[in-house]
Amino acid sequence: MKKKNTLRQVSDFDLKLLRLFKTIVECGSFSGAEGALGMTKSAISLHMSDLEKRLGLRLCQRGRSGFSLTDEGAEVLKAAESLFSSIEDFRSQLNKISHQLKGELNIGIVNNLVTQPQMKVTQALEHLSQFKGDVKINISMSTPSEIAKGLFDGRLHVGVIPWTNTLSGLEYQQLYEETSYLYCSKQHPYFDTPRALSSTELRQASTVIPSFPMTLEAIEMHQSLSCTASASDREGIAFLILTGAYIGFLPDHYAANWVNKGEMKRLNEDTLAFSTPLAVITRTGRRSNLVLEQFLGALSLS
């Protein structure tokens, strides 16, 4: 590749590509970075080619022999890490100069957690709002994979997700567990059945299966049922259950509103239930951020 001195200023897009490059290196390959970045291997390759063109440098070797950095790639990685560290240092220094808590906190949360009775996240946000400094809180509701991607590329400072697996490069701290039961709506034929249903009866009912990651216990329970529909989140599962045509698992705190109104009921609650840990996740090796540290400290105290 012919070297050209083309990068005269660093744009936001350049920072995004450099963060992508750093994540690929940390994951060890394009394939390994697919889950962390939420991109296909071909999309990652296109972004990397774009970065190499913008820099006029060959950053890595990829092919059948595997993934490896070139000497220039190693130098660019070192410079990028220094750049990202400087950005975080600048933010932290601004907080120290003003002697106030200043800055933004970007949080990614999976949906339907607000009804959880253990309101640790709410209490931590309340703690943060009591500071007189200029703190801006930005909450985005998303899927676990999108939240992980946001942490890797720097768009998010912290996330709250079900802890079904552990990704390299992220730190996990368990908040609490939520319990899910199997539900049907009042329109379903099983709603008025006063007894526990047999395994044969359960297999005859159409069931909603989540398309998001689950614990092994949850996977095994769904494997014993007839899963004929899927949903990307808990709200989608609730929609299908309420049609009366499907049964499905929901967290008890989320289903409570419908249960209390007599619109849903649990099925075989003594045997068909599983727990899922909820965790707060942050990027490993993150730079000092006073707003984030206050939020994490409040979570551990609440």
pLDDT given at position 275: 94
The residue range of the domain holding 75 is 12-94
Q: Which residue has the tokens 């949360």?
A: 109
Residue at 255 is within a domain? yes
Range of weakest confidence among 129-133, 147-151, 179-183, 238-242? 129-133
Q: Are 241 and 207 in contact (CB under 8 A)?
A: no
pLDDT above 70 as % of the chain:
93
Grade residue 2 by pLDDT with cuts at 50, 70 and 90. Answer: very low
101 occurs within a structural domain = no
Q: Domain total for the chain?
A: 2
In a domain, 295, yes or no: no
Q: What is the pLDDT of residues 216-266, one digit of tens each?
A: 999 999 999 999 999 988 999 999 999 999 999 999 999 999 999 999 999
Taking phi first (over 0 means left), then psi (-120 to 50 degrees means alpha), and beta for anything else, what does residue 115 get?
Answer: alpha
CA distances from 72 to 4, 33, 76, 79, 88 (A): 13, 21, 6, 11, 25
> Does residue 157 form part of some domain?
no
Q: Residue 116's closest CA among 278, 268, 8, 230?
A: 278
Q: For the packed helices 71-98 and 12-27, what is the interaxial angle rounded to 10 degrees? A: 120
CATH code for the domain in which residue 73 is found:
1.10.10.10
Per residue in 166-208, pLDDT (tens digit) is 899 999 999 889 999 999 999 999 999 999 999 999 999 999 9
Residue 58 lies in a domain: yes
Q: Is residue 161 part of a domain?
A: no
**Which CA distances in Å does 227 have to 28, 72, 210, 224, 263?**
36, 51, 10, 9, 22
Residue 249 within any structural domain of the chain: yes
* Cβ atoms of residues 147 and 156 within 8 Å: yes
- Is residue 120 within 8 Å of 176, Cβ to Cβ? yes
Output the six-digit token pair for 242. Answer: 């309420």
- Write the CATH number for 204: 3.40.190.290
